[in-house]
A = this chain, B = another copy of it.
Amino acid sequence: MTDIQTAIEFARQNRERFLDELKTFVSMPSVSTSDEHKADVARTAEWVAEQLRSLGMSRVAVMPTGGHPAVYGEWLGAGKKAPTVLIYGHYDVQPVDPLDLWKSDPFEGVLRGEYFFGRGVSDMKGQVLASMKAVESAMSAGKLPVNVKWLIEGEEEVGSKNLGPFIQKHSDLLKADVCLNPDAGMMSADLPTITYGLRGLCYLELRVYGPAKDLHSGLYGGTIHNPAQALTELVAGMHDKNGRITLPGFYDKVRKLTKQERAAFASLPVKDRELLKQTGVKALWGEPAFIPAERVGARPTLEVNGLLSGWTGKGSKTVLPAYAMAKISCRLVPDQTPEDVVRQMKAYLRKNAPKTVRWELDELTHSGWAITDLNSRGVQAMSRALETVWGKKTLFRREGGSIGVVVHLQQYAGVESVLTGFGLPDDDIHSPNERLHLPTWHKGIEALVHFIYNMKV
């Protein structure tokens, strides 16, 4: 057997153990947005470090950032002439609310049919573990053909805002020929996918203040501008009737799609009926001049992520609230910047907010968009690896999400990322009953083994 055959065989023999390890990983409630889970997040970082040590990595360290720690480890035994692959992942997960919609404990990890259920199984503890198990499998066959470094962060789900400074500070440590980033998923279980474009993000919190305190709506209603009403007016006005965003200058820097790009989008297997099925809506929505794949991959959006004001419990309370809040985020495309959007939002609010209320705007997090070179060695190695395992052409797409680390690695360490992954569109990441399709996951581990060998000079 060749090394690669040995490695693949090892991965197949150890599937059950790999799943047990995933169960342990998922059992740690590493919810990064929540103060109450701070100790769980720290404990999870230690667990990741321990895994890297058992893989035989050296210089393993749980390293401080401005927020939750990042885990580093490396194996440079392939020598200076061999390429170095930096493997990125995040060990933090989204909150689980609404908890009552989960069919099993989100932090247990439960097998039902071909799926493994739990918070973070797909996004992205399963992907992190797949990378570790691919390296372990390759190491079982002999010396690794490439050097590897690991950067497993704990703040992706809260916007990776401390990761930029961290990468900047440790840019020498993180130097690599390519970054493998398996956080991007695939279009379906039989469509291996590399993502070459990501949208940026600008996440804002808008607070509108009216009276100094909650008032009785009977005693004051009709004389005081209700800040919840003012907020709905402001938020509603951020789109026009055609779904176009009205922030002044919002589309000025949006790069026009070329004919070639539009043709590529048109060829993607994004079917309206699939979107309807996945989401359960009655009809799709969005800019009529673009198809859904373009609207997600190459057009900017403005979404209301949260609303809060006044009485939200059961029953009625006749209150005229003192305050109303909206969480609003924009997905950004080349060549928009988060700074532009903050400025445009402030200009919009200055122009449209009535004098009867006071507003405050905070930027909670942001990240830039990214585009990767399709002809780079990493992309080519991954494309061949996927085609070997799936026996199909790799799809290349631009994606709607935002991954801060891709931008920061390019900006501060000069490392380009290869974005792939083995999560599926219906994995319900960020939703109740998040799941991982196990047959795809096992194929993914094998694809990563092939990638390691394909990277050999």
Q: Would B236 and A313 count as touching, CB distance under 8 A?
A: no
Q: A312-B325, A325-B312 are in contact. Are A305 and B222 (CB under 8 A)?
A: no
Q: Would B308 and A320 count as touching, CB distance under 8 A?
A: no
Interface flag for A289 (CB, 8 Å) = no
Q: Would A317 and B299 count as touching, CB distance under 8 A?
A: no
Which of B239, B292, B430 touches A318 (beta carbons < 8 Å)? Answer: B430
A237 to B237, CA, bound (A): 10
Q: Would B223 and A292 count as touching, CB distance under 8 A?
A: yes
Q: Would B219 and A400 count as touching, CB distance under 8 A?
A: yes
Minimum CB distance partner of A292 in chain B: B223
Q: Would A319 and B307 count as touching, CB distance under 8 A?
A: no
Residues of B within 8 A of A313 (CB): 33-34, 95
Q: Would B33 and A317 count as touching, CB distance under 8 A?
A: yes
Q: A199-B218, A236-B233 are in contact. Are A312 and B304 (CB under 8 A)?
A: no
Residues of B within 8 A of A401 (CB): 216, 218-219, 318
Q: Would A282 and B399 count as touching, CB distance under 8 A?
A: no
Q: Which A291-335 residues have a C-beta within 8 angstroms of B?
A: 292, 295-296, 299, 301, 303-321, 324-327, 329, 331
Number of copies: 2
Residues of B within 8 A of A287 (CB): 222
Q: Would B305 and A223 count as touching, CB distance under 8 A?
A: no
Q: How far is the CB of A289 from chain B (nearest CB, A)?
A: 12
Q: Would B158 and A219 count as touching, CB distance under 8 A?
A: no
Q: Would B296 and A324 count as touching, CB distance under 8 A?
A: no
Q: Which A324-363 residues have a C-beta within 8 angstroms of B?
A: 324-327, 329, 331, 354-358
Which of B217, B232, B285, B320 touches A232 (beta carbons < 8 Å)? Answer: B232
Q: A201-B318, A203-B316, A224-B285 are in contact. Are A400 and B280 (CB under 8 A)?
A: no
Q: Would B296 and A305 count as touching, CB distance under 8 A?
A: no
Residues of B within 8 A of A304 (CB): 226, 228-229, 232, 309-310, 321, 324
What are 21 contact pairs spanning A and B, CB under 8 A?
A201-B318, A212-B279, A213-B432, A214-B431, A216-B429, A216-B430, A218-B400, A219-B429, A222-B301, A224-B284, A224-B285, A226-B303, A228-B304, A231-B307, A232-B235, A232-B236, A233-B236, A236-B236, A285-B354, A306-B317, A308-B312
